[in-house]
Amino acid sequence: MRRTKLLPEVNAGSMADIAFLLLVFFLVTAVIPKDQGIQRKLPKECPPGIDCSGDIYERNILRIAINSENEIMVNNLVTPINEVKNITKTFIDNNGNGSCTYCSGNKSNISSDHPTKAIISLQNTKLTSYSKFIAVQDEITKAYFELRSKYSENVLKKSPEMLSEEDIKTLKKVYPFILSETEIK
């Protein structure tokens, strides 16, 4: 019997098909996470029954800026991030004009007149890191959450988890989240 010294061939044509099928399988079955952003709704032009052409007094604006070195400045003073929430709460709940019956502020003449007139101005540069920007927004959101929770427990006599849709509308009315975001040029 004669042996040939030829090597047997492996048919690799079907391997490409198998690799392609595996690729398609993994693409179809892979879970692609949804991007989650900040849930904010842009305000309407001007709510009915409210005069939006009036002047905004400087004392009703809390200016928070994040510079290119990611330093946070509240009213032009460098501030650590862990103080932003308390500064925001104090500013919003100030009751500067004495007309707020549910506020517990100290009626400072350099903070807001009323929670419905308090505006938070958040400014950043092009070099501000996204994580720092989001961290500052989180602190502002925590301030509003705590003020609304306090109102819920003290005035509505309900825990925040037990609020109805009407109660939530009331909370948003007494402590409206007014945030102005701009980029410093």
Q: What is the pLDDT of residues 31-40, one digit of tens each?
A: 777 666 666 6
Domain count, the chain: 1
Model pLDDT, residue 140: 92
Model's pTM, two decimal places?
A: 0.71
pLDDT at 32: 73
pLDDT above 80: residue 184? no
| Dist. CA 56–CA 48, nearest whole Å | 18
pLDDT tens-digit series, residues 24-66: 988 888 877 766 666 665 555 665 555 666 677 788 888 999 9
CA dihedral (77, 82, 85, 86) positive or negative = negative
**Does 92 fall in a domain?**
yes
Confidence at residue 171, expressed as pLDDT on a 0 to 100 scale: 87
First to last CA, the chain: 89
Amino acid at site 8 = P
Based on its alpha-carbon atoms, the radius of gyration of the chain, rounded to whole angstroms, reads 28
Q: Does residue 153 fall inside a structural domain?
A: no
Q: 137 in a domain, yes or no?
A: yes
Does residue 19 fall inside a structural domain? Answer: no
Average pLDDT, the chain: 83
Q: Give domain status of residue 101, yes or no.
A: yes
Counting Cβ atoms within 10 Å, is residue 90 exposed (0-12), middle (13-18) or buried (19+)? Answer: middle
Q: Is the residue at 66 inside a domain? A: yes
128 occurs within a structural domain: yes
Domain that holds residue 73: 58-143+177-183
> Is residue 131 pLDDT above 70, yes or no?
yes
Q: Token pair of 67, please?
A: 């510079």
Would you say residue 113 lies in a domain? yes
pLDDT attached to residue 1: 58
